[in-house]
Each structure stands twice: as C-alpha cells, then as structure tokens.
C-alpha cells in the first residue's frame, strides 16, 4: 500500500549564525497509510507542533523528506504549495478559525467556492457533510451564534468537504469541555470509519488520543515510541497511552 504521508529523517533547526542553534526535530521518520487515524503526543517543547507545521507546509524542515500522496512538499514553491494545501489538505485548528462574517454554511462551502466547484454541487456536498457531523441545524447561523463544540464540528466539515488526502488536526479538543470534546471525537471516528478519512492529530490529551488507531510519542525532537491499538478496547488503549505519558511526562485525564 502506498503511503499517504511519509516523513523520512526530518530535521528542523532554529537559530544558527552567531547565536545558539535549537534542534526542534532530530531525524523524525514515520508513515501514515490511507484510512489511518494517528495521534502525535509529547511533552511541551518535544517538537510535535513543529512536526505538524512542517507536514502542513506552514514551515519547512531544515533537511529530510516529507511526501504527501507521493509529492515531496519540501521542494514545492509558494504557488505550488498554495494549490497543494487547497486541494490535498484539510485543517482543523484549536480555535476553529471560522470567519464570523460568513454563515456556517458559507464557511463550510469556502474551499469549494475557491476551487470553482459548481453551485449545485457545493450545496449538495455541504449538506451531506453537515449531516455527517451533526451541524445541519446551524448552517444558516453565524459562528458567534453557535456553541464552541458546534464551531469545531463546522470547522471539521470545512476541512473534509473537499475530500482531502490528509486531515491535520492541531489540538482540536483543546478549547472544548468534556461533553463537546467527546462529540467531536466521535465525529472524527465516524469520518475515519465511514469515509476512510486519513487523520493526523496533534494532542496533549490522552482521552483524545485513545480514539486513534496509533499514537506516536515524541520526546526531544525524536520518535520515542509508538502504540498501535489493534484489537484493544478504548479503555485498555487509554491505559497504555497513560503509561507512556507517565514515562515521558505530559498531562493526564480520564476516560468518562
């Protein structure tokens, strides 16, 4: 099976010259296949956000390879990157990043509108994705009129509506209470199971990570270890995650 994402010996250095150099990533290698659901965890300063930014083409690694759907994003120029992000990547941020001047329907439709998709097809795809994520009732409201959990599900719908090759989620439950976090994670689970969405999520939350199929742990800019859920139930997987979190340092929670 061809990898959707392949990272090979990725390094990222900051500073240099006459100042000190910080190695945020020190040779990270891993791959993600179609339909996989992977969490990246690690203590503050471990390099997980830097790694996500490099994969998202927001930042460039100092060296190494990052290939998405076979394309080496580290060699793309600005214009290529803009088109690649629009067509291949879906983004879900901690604060949703919805535009308050657009309705939720218009926010979800925005990537399709930019890509010049026909209006009739836009309406159909927005309605379908909103139904999958349980936000049909808020489509004609503005982001400031809906709850934080609904905002995040609208953001997830916007990320998924173009059927991206890879969905990148950066602490998507970080600003949510436990009830809305669970609703969002159940939606991610459904997107992964039913639509075979390939999801890579950076999180500090063991509860969130327990929904994934694999968890990669980063420490000091390197892959420390990996857990694969396999046939484990979510409770057992959560306990295994907690064991590693306790070993390398990090925040804790509990499965409700």
Task: For 158-172, write each residue's pLDDT tens digit.
Answer: 999 999 999 999 999
Is the pLDDT at 252 greater than 70? The verdict is: no
At 191, is the pLDDT very low, low, confident or very high (cuts 50, 70, 90)?
A: very high
Quick: pLDDT tens for 8-26: 999 999 886 666 788 999 9
Kindly state the average pLDDT of the residues 120-140.
94
214 inside domain = yes
pLDDT at site 1: 56
255 inside domain = no
Sign of CA dihedral 211, 213, 216, 217: positive
253 inside domain = no
Distance, CA of 191 to CA of 51 (rounded, Å): 24
Kindly state the average pLDDT of the residues 93-104.
92
256 inside domain = no
Is the pLDDT at 78 greater than 60? The verdict is: yes
pLDDT at site 86: 86
Starting at the earlier edge strand, list the strands of the sheet with 71-72: 21-33, 3-15, 63-68, 71-72
Quick: pLDDT tens for 136-157: 999 999 999 999 999 999 999 9
Q: Where is average pLDDT lowest: 48-62, 74-88, 94-108?
A: 74-88
68 inside domain = yes
pLDDT at site 256: 47
Q: Where is average pLDDT lowest: 80-84, 118-122, 241-245?
A: 80-84
pLDDT at site 67: 95
Domain that holds residue 43: 3-248
pLDDT at site 149: 93
Kindly state the average pLDDT of the residues 75-83.
87
Quick: pLDDT tens for 41-50: 999 889 999 9
* Number of domains composing the chain: 1
Q: What are the helix (H) ranges across 116-233?
A: 119-132, 148-160, 178-195, 206-209
pLDDT at site 69: 92
Q: CB of 97 within 8 A of CB of 158?
A: no
Task: Read off the CATH number of the domain in which 96 is found.
Answer: 3.40.50.300
DSSP string, 179-206: HHHHHHHHHHHHHHHHH---EEEE-S-H
Distance, CA of 126 to CA of 82 (rounded, Å): 22
Least Cα distance to 155 among 199, 104, 208 occurs for: 104
Q: What is the mean pLDDT of the chain?
A: 91
**Total-model pTM:** 0.90
């Amino acid at each position: 099976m061809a990898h959707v994402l392949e990272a090979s010996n990725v390094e990222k250095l900051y500073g240099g010259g006459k100042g000190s150099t910080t190695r945020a990533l020190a040779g990270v290698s891993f791959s993600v296949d179609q339909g996989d659901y992977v969490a990246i965890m690690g203590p503050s300063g471990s390099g997980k956000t830097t790694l996500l930014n490099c994969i998202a083409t927001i930042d460039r690694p100092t060296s190494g390879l990052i290939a998405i759907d076979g394309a080496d994003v580290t060699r793309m120029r600005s214009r290529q990157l803009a088109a690649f992000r629009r067509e291949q990547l879906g983004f879900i941020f901690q604060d949703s990043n919805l535009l308050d001047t657009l309705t939720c329907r218009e926010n979800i439709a925005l990537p399709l509108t930019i890509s010049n998709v026909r209006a009739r097809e836009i309406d159909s795809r927005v309605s379908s994705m909103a139904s999958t994520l349980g936000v049909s009732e808020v489509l004609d409201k503005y982001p400031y009129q809906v709850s934080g959990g609904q905002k995040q599900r609208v953001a997830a719908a916007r990320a998924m509506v173009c059927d991206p090759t890879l969905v990148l989620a950066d602490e998507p439950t970080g600003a949510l209470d436990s009830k809305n976090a669970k609703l969002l994670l159940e939606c991610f689970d459904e997107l992964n199971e039913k639509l075979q969405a390939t999801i890579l999520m950076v999180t500090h939350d063991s509860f969130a990570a327990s929904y994934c199929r694999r968890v990669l742990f980063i420490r000091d800019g390197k892959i420390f270890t990996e857990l694969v859920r396999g046939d484990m139930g979510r409770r057992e997987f959560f306990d295994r995650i907690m064991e590693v979190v306790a070993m390398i340092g990090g925040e804790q929670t509990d499965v409700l």
